[in-house]
Every structure is written in C-alpha cells, then in structure tokens.
Amino acid sequence: MSIRPALAAPRPARGLSHVICRASILLVGLACRSPDAATAPAQQEPSTPAVLPTGTEGAFRGSVVLGRPPDRSVGANVWSADQGGDVSLLIGTAPGRYTRRTGTVALAPDVPVEVPIGDLTPGTRYYYRLQFNGAAASGPSVERSFRTAPARGTTFRFGIQGDSHPERERSQFDATLYQRTLNTAAADSLDFYVMLGDDFSIDILDPATITAAQVRQRYTLQRPYLGLIGASSPVFLVNGNHEQAARYLLDGTPNNPAVWAQVARNSLYAQPAPDGFYSGNAEQVPHIGLLRNYYAFTWGDALFVMIDPYWGSDVCVDNPFFGGDKRSDLWTVTHGDAQYQWLKRTLEQSTSRYKFVFAHHVMGTGRGGIEVARLYEWGGRSPNGNTEFPARRPTWAAPIHQLFVQNKVSAFFQGHDHIWVRQELDGVVYQSISEPADPNYSLFNADAYTSGVKHPNSGYTRVTVGPTGANVEYVRMYRPADEGGGRVSGTVAYSYVIP
C-alpha cells in the first residue's frame, strides 16, 4: 500500500474549556521507558475534579455516553453519582426542533441505565436533549447530536485515543489536559470515538484487599470525562492489559477482578454484541454474560474490527495481577481459536474499501509495532528467526499479520506504547497512538521503534474517510500554560493519506 503524506497547516483548537492550570516544564522529545505495574512508583488514588462539564449541563449533574450505534438506533447510557429521578430524551433532525420523545426511564443514584433510541434513519444527524425530572431539580440538558451509520460513498470522521491512565497523575495524566483533548475531539463532530485500553486500570489496587466496589470506581472515574466526548460521539472500548479483564483470573466464582472489571465495563458503557449490524463474541461467560470484547461492523466505506488477546488466553498475557514475572515464551499466549476464526471470516467476507483493525497492542504485550509483528502467532516466527507457526498453531490457516496482507487490511491501530508512530509492513499501516493527557509530552518507548515517523505525547488521532482516501491526522494537545513558541492545541502535527 502506498501512503501519501499530507502535512497539514496548523489547525486551531475549537470548543476548548479554557482553564488556568499550573505551569510545568515542557519536555518534548524525551525518550524513556513507560513504567509498568511492577516498576512504577506508588501512585495516589486519582479523583475526578469537583467541577467538570460533562456535556449535560443543567439540572442533571450526571453524564450521557452513547454507544453501540447501528444504522437505525443507538444506546444512551445515563449515569449520575448522586441524583435520582426520571430521564428521557427529546429527539429531532434539526437543532432545537424535537419531534419525538423516548420512553421515560427511572434513574437511581450511582446506577447506570440505558435509554434506547430506535426507529432512526441511516446516515442522518439527530439532535437531542436529556430531560431530567428529580425531586430537587428538573430541566433539559444542553443540546447534543449524533449521526447514524452512513451509506457507502459518504464522508465520515472518527477519533482514536491511546492510554489515558488517569491513575498516573502528573507523571502521565493531567485532568485539565484530558478535558482539553476530549473537548477538542468533541468539536470535530466525530461519528464515534475509539479508546485503545488502559483507561480503567486496576493495577493500583491491592490484590489482597481488592473489592468489586474498588474496581467499579475505576470505571465511574472516567464517566465525567467521557461524557465530554460520548454525549455526541459513541464510544467503542478496547481492553488493555492494565484493565485485568482477562480469562486467566477466572476462578469459577463471581468474586474475582476479571468478572468485576468486565461487569463494570458493560454496565457503564454500551458495547456491541452480535446482532444484525455487529458480529462478535457469542460466548456466554458465567457471572458476566456476553463479554462484548471483540466485535466488527461496517460504517460507510470501512470495516472496523476490534480484537482482544486478554479474554482469549488461559494464561496471563502481560503483567500478572497477583505478581510474578511476565512470560518469555509468547507462543503460550493466544487470541484463541474462536476469535481467530471469527477474525478470518470477518476479513474475508468484507467488501469494504477500507479495513481497520484495533487492539491494545500486537499480541497484547511487548513494545514496538512492525518490530514485533513478525513474531509468534501474529507473524509466525520465533525470536530466533525460525518459522514455528505450522507446529504451534496447526489449525490456523496463516499468522494474523498474513491474514491482514491477504485481505488487504488498510491499517492496524494500537496503543500500549504511549507514543505516536506510523509504520508500514507488507502494505499494512501499523499506527501506534499517543496518550491523550501526558503533561510531560514524553516520547516513551522510542527505542522500541527502529523505523517510522515518531511524535511525542499528547493528543488524539482523527481519521477522515472520504472518496479520495482515508486521511489520518495526529492532533497535538497542550495545557494552556504550555502553549507558545509554535505549540498550539488542536494543531495537526502530522498527517498522511491511505488511498
């Protein structure tokens, strides 16, 4: 695949919440390793700022996060930490003109509810307000909008962020910077927003005393933030290693971190399950139900495929929650037969012009992009160079990367490495995604990438799919105090076009 670089002129930020924040030292181009759970310094329990706009300003203090958007419906997940009452949505196809109203749903404090919005027209932008009726306050939210799945040939735009890591305050996370990033992304009117994992990390919790409530707090912590983008752009989640939503932790009971994490994820964020629009994991896991961890759908001219190594492997893929060394032989970890065969069918059966695949990282562990894409079940080789795939995966037709090549996958997007890097292997783009809120603007793990275009944190990635190609843009973000000298939030640092 040939790629046309398209360096864009700086684009000013739009829709930013201008909050005065403390000055900091700007560290651009700093090459260093990202700490993992075993080596990171002790971290404070993060807290959501007391005043944080959520996209539903008004009588309602909670948030709306849209999810699972087919062509004729969408799920609106509504949650408030401390308010109860009744909620419904006023909907129309023009700003300020609402022609119908959803059914009313009872809302209790700290209990998420889903308000289904059905009977929609494909490829249409809808405008809505949330109507909240509570004992102490009532009224509508500000207006937000969303778009249903467009037809082929229609231009659309989506966004991607890497590891937000809100548990790593100051070292890799700044609340003001995260709000700025999400507000800027929301101003882009994205059709949806993809999060590549390590957004709900539970590794800071003590394995000896961990509780379901503590795990759930990792997911509610993000709700005010994700209300900024999710009120207008449905959110798609990908599991990361620090979520610890992984099969190796299952013990047959409902009382383990993997169950707690996946239940919290699926209750607070509407994610796809197999139906007429989405394909995906049909396995029913005891105490969880449908995992909703890998899935695929078509949107306009593109196929979107989200995959997950953590629920596919019976052994720990990356960092063990209860301590211990990481595995050195990665032939022992796997995406699993069911996910592999589904991925193969999905890619082979799609006739979309573009095919985009998303995961937390190649194999779910390690560092680098194409440097590790040739290894193990992803690439077929062992580190010594021997091709062991036929013996190690005898029922698989080809390594995962070879499936990408055979089926003309346009790009593979990954997080995990906390750096923005574009690479290409056998015509497939390997795109690593930056952190959205690193206040040090670091160039983590640069030495793991022996080639490619590299840029430091922070920011998000915007992809516009249209008749002339898919334009991939890295949108840089800064805190207000760190701007100046050519550093402007919302500027496109680098872009390229996938024809």
Query: In this predicted model, what pLDDT tens digit does every residue of 453-492 receive, in sequence order?
Result: 999 999 999 999 999 999 999 999 999 999 999 999 999 9
Strand 192-195 versus strand 156-161 pairing type: parallel
pLDDT reading at 93 higher than 70: yes
Structure tokens at 36: 């993992």
Q: How far out from the chain centre does Cα 381 lie?
A: 29
Beta strand segments in 230-329, E: 235-237, 279-280, 284-285, 289-290, 295-299, 302-306
If one counts the domains in the chain, the total is: 1
pLDDT reading at 55 higher than 90: no
Of all residues in the chain, the percent with pLDDT exceeding 70 is: 89
Residue 202 covered by a domain: yes
Q: Which residue do the tokens 């029913």 mark?
A: 284
Looking at 16-30, 199-213, 386-400, which range is the least confident one? 16-30
Nearest-angstrom CA–CA distance, 206 and 216: 14
pLDDT reading at 59 higher than 50: yes
Nearest-angstrom CA–CA distance, 269 and 263: 10
Residue 119 covered by a domain: no
Q: Mapping DSSP to helix (H, G, I), strand (E, B) and coil, where does residue 29 land? A: coil
Residue 103 covered by a domain: no
Over the chain, what is the mean pLDDT? 90
Q: Which residue has the higher pLDDT, 285 or 27?
A: 285
Nearest-angstrom CA–CA distance, 133 and 128: 16
Q: What is the pLDDT of residue 56?
A: 65
pLDDT tens-digit map of 159-188: 999 999 999 998 999 999 999 999 999 999
Nearest-angstrom CA–CA distance, 419 and 441: 10
The set of residues, in sequence order, having a beta carbon less than 8 Å from that of 146 and lying 6+ positions away, is 66, 69, 74, 125, 126, 128, 232, 233, 234
Pick the closest to residue 184 from 14, 4, 317 (CA basis): 14
Residue 413 covered by a domain: yes
pLDDT reading at 428 higher than 90: yes
Residue 232 covered by a domain: yes
Residue 110 covered by a domain: no
Structure tokens at 236: 């798609």
Length of the chain: 499
Nearest-angstrom CA–CA distance, 238 and 245: 11
Q: What is the CATH number of the domain that holds 227?
A: 3.60.21.10
Q: What is the pLDDT of residue 136?
A: 87
Q: What is the pLDDT of residue 58?
A: 80
Residue 66 covered by a domain: no
Q: What is the pLDDT of residue 10?
A: 34
Residue 61 covered by a domain: no
Give kind and range of the element (H or E) at residue 348. Answer: helix 337-349
Long-range contacts of 247-253 (CB under 8 A, 24+ apart): 247/310, 247/311, 247/312, 247/313, 247/314, 248/313, 248/314, 248/315, 248/316, 248/317, 249/321, 250/285, 252/286, 253/287
Pick the closest to residue 159 from 224, 94, 232, 221 (CA basis): 232
Nearest-angstrom CA–CA distance, 414 and 424: 13
Residue environment code for 150-187, b if the CB has 16+ CB neighbours within 10 A, otherwise e: beeebebbbbbbbbbbbbbbebbbbbbbbbbbbbbbbe
Determine how many CB atoms are found less than 10 A away from the CB of residue 286: 10
Q: What is the pLDDT of residue 367?
A: 97
Nearest-angstrom CA–CA distance, 422 and 59: 44
Nearest-angstrom CA–CA distance, 331 and 441: 35
Q: Is the dihedral of CA 7, 9, 15, 18 positive or negative?
A: positive
Q: Which domain holds residue 293?
A: 4-53+149-498
Looking at 21-35, 327-341, 348-362, 479-493, which range is the least confident one? 21-35
